[in-house]
Structure 1
Amino acid sequence: MPTTASLKANKREIIASHVRPDNRKAFVQICTTLLPLAVLWWGIAQSASVSYWLTAGLVILLILFMLRSFVLMHECGHGSLFRGARLNRAVGFVFGVVTGMPQFVWSQHHQYHHANNGNWERYTGPLAIISTDEFAAMSPTQQRQYCRARSVWLAPLAGFIYLLVNPRRSCLRGILALFRHARSRRIEQPDLSWSASGEGFSMPCGASAQEFRHMLANNLAWLALWLAMAWLVGPALFLVCAVLSISMAGGIGIMLFTVQHNFEHAYATGDEGWDYDQAALEGTSFLLLPGWLNWFTANIAYHHIHHMSARIPNYCLAACHGEYEALFAGVPRIRLSDVPAALRCILWDKQQRRITSVAAYQQQRAVAAC
């Protein structure tokens, strides 16, 4: 079986041959995403007077295109969709407004995930899991609550909070913090102008001034877009379809992200002995998706390639995997039918250095107790 050593030996060659951003391909992807979104919203506005079943069908397509929009936004954050940084930033901002997520701020946190993939001592994101020791220390009620909070049925709610609530809440907190900071400085220095009083401001969560400005710009553009769409489509129809499509797309995205890192026996370690390339091979899955779903998810199923090097564009991932298929033969494969089981892997076994399910952990304890 190919090892981490063989990946390290070939990594430079792989990256050199496949890190080839192509502006033409990128623009085609942008057009085949944003134009269908516009057509779908036009169709939704027309469909309400024809049949709500037709509206529902269009919303299903809208969910898929919103999912694709988020993945392309994610790629702009890595600077891999286009050749130039300026184009990646500009298009990333647009997709950030479409999906409701401040792209620059999100990408900073996402880079941390890439830098610590497989290191569950450092990862503290929205999908962080606890160790088996921490789970054992919980009361039965707390254990049930922990498991319920990670139920697949809560995925749309998680998508709603992640994409619609949290970015707005963070922005409002930042605005209030800026106002308090400016007011405090003006009390100390009455002659200070409002613009000067904002100097030295930092977000309560530790975000930089650049991140705050981007977050504010994203939220203002997002609000303008939603007001315009509510006027064009109709407030009630737009709100229902927009909230539903974004929440469902967010929920699907969260589930995809989860099973790409949390699955039975996935590589999971702390700081000691952690290896970036081993995490890409053993702690990241290869999702075996139908072609049409690979298109809507912009080839993010080739996640092992993406974690080997985030600089490889999505339209080069499949070719990279095919060329070096023998090298990635040991990467865990997950089919759609395997997703429910993978979603139950919500514990980190520190001793075994792997992800496990509650059922497997309890079985292991029962055997040890005999």
Structure 2
Amino acid sequence: MLNGKELILATRPFAKENVAKSWLHVLSTMVIWLSLLVGTLFCPHWSLKLLCSIFAGFLIVRMFVIYHDHQHHAILNKSFIAKMLMTVYGLYNLAPTSIWKRSHDYHHKHNSKLFSASIGSFPIVTKKKFLAMTKGERRAYLATRHPIVIFGGYFSMFLFGMCVNSFLSSPKKHFDSLIAILLHLAGSFFVTWFFGWQGLVFFVLIPFTVACGIGSYLFYAQHNFPGVSFSDNTEWAYEKAALESSSFMKLSFFWRWVTANIGYHH
């Protein structure tokens, strides 16, 4: 079996981009997503608005994975238009490019290390370390990994984790986090002003709750599953973390489409 750089180099022939197909996926996803958002405001019955709202959340997930791939320079890397579109999308989705790239790049270089900062992922500790924690540290650790926190990712991971915390920690470096917060609040205000409380619920709250909840769970499931392998800093290797410490999500055709085949990235 190939190891190290040899294994990574062997995968390169399978990572060639079809630019036309990349644009097809980007534009088709955006058209469907924006159409569903329009439906949340103008459908004649609340049940149709709810349906559009939930599916808009699914399309936000799909668009986020495309955004994720673009930030990895896997698709449309040389396109200025794509860069602008993805920058705007990052602001919309409360994952602006500065904090997303910094945290996610760190994650790929340190995921599944037992004794590294939990940047870009949910924390995990050994039983020995957990028992050595104070009661307050245990509560904080368990709270961070609680299902309410995971599926409440709209507020816990994206609004506060990605935007508020990053801006407060480094205002100059993550000024786009403040822009994302202000745009989100302003957009929510204007939607409520023109379309009432139903506009806020169906156009903003439900799509973001659905999308961010799914997104947070995908982050969690990537490195939290039976049989996962963790290493200390001296034994950690990039390809080992990819093969032994990352899950492959077996999904139906519909969910593979919604998640843009993120299972392969896991």
Q: Which TM-score band (shorter chain)?
A: 0.7 to 0.9
C-alpha separation in 2, matches of 1:106 and 1:83: 16
Q: Deviation digits for residues 282-313 of structure 1, max 9, x if unmatched?
A: 01111111111111111111125xxxxxxxxx
- Could you tell me whether the CA contact under 8 Å between 1:102 and 1:219 is conserved in 2? no
Matched, 1:260 2:222: yes
User: In the alignment, which residue of structure 2 is the partner of 1:134?
Assistant: 129
User: In the alignment, which residue of structure 2 is the partner of 1:324?
Assistant: none
> Secondary structure of the equivalent of 1:9?
helix
TM-score by length of 2: 0.85
TM-score by length of 1: 0.63
Return the match for 1:72 from 61, 66, 73.
66
C-alpha separation in 1, matches of 2:162 and 2:238: 30
Return the match for 1:236 from 179, 184, 197.
197
**Matched residue type, 1:96:** G
Return the match for 2:53 from 48, 59, 63.
59
Q: Deviation digits for residues 9-31 of structure 1, max 9, x if unmatched?
A: 3431321x133233322221221
**Any residues of structure 2 matched to 1:29-68 within 5 Å, and which?**
29-47=25-43, 50-68=44-62
C-alpha separation in 2, matches of 1:145 and 1:101: 24
The number of residues matched between the two structures is 264
Give unmatched runs, 5+ long, in structure 1: 174-204, 305-370
**Matched residue type, 1:99:** N
User: In the alignment, which residue of structure 1 is the partner of 2:92?
Assistant: 98
Give unmatched runs, 5+ long, in structure 2: none
User: In the alignment, which residue of structure 2 is the partner of 1:180?
Assistant: none
C-alpha separation in 2, matches of 1:168 and 1:96: 11
Moved more, 284-293 or 148-157: 148-157
Matched, 1:118 2:112: yes
Q: Deviation digits for residues 233-270 of structure 1, max 9, x if unmatched?
A: x1422321212221221111111121121112212112
Higher helix share: 2
Over the aligned positions, Cα root-mean-square deviation in angstroms equals 2.8
User: In the alignment, which residue of structure 2 is the partner of 1:19?
Assistant: 15
Q: Percent identity?
A: 24
User: In the alignment, which residue of structure 1 is the partner of 2:154?
Assistant: 159
C-alpha separation in 2, matches of 1:68 and 1:120: 30
Alpha carbons of structure 1 residues 219 and 119: separation in structure 2 relative to 1, 3 Å: same
**Matched residue type, 1:155:** I
- Pairwise CA distance, 1:142: 6.9
Matched, 1:250 2:212: yes
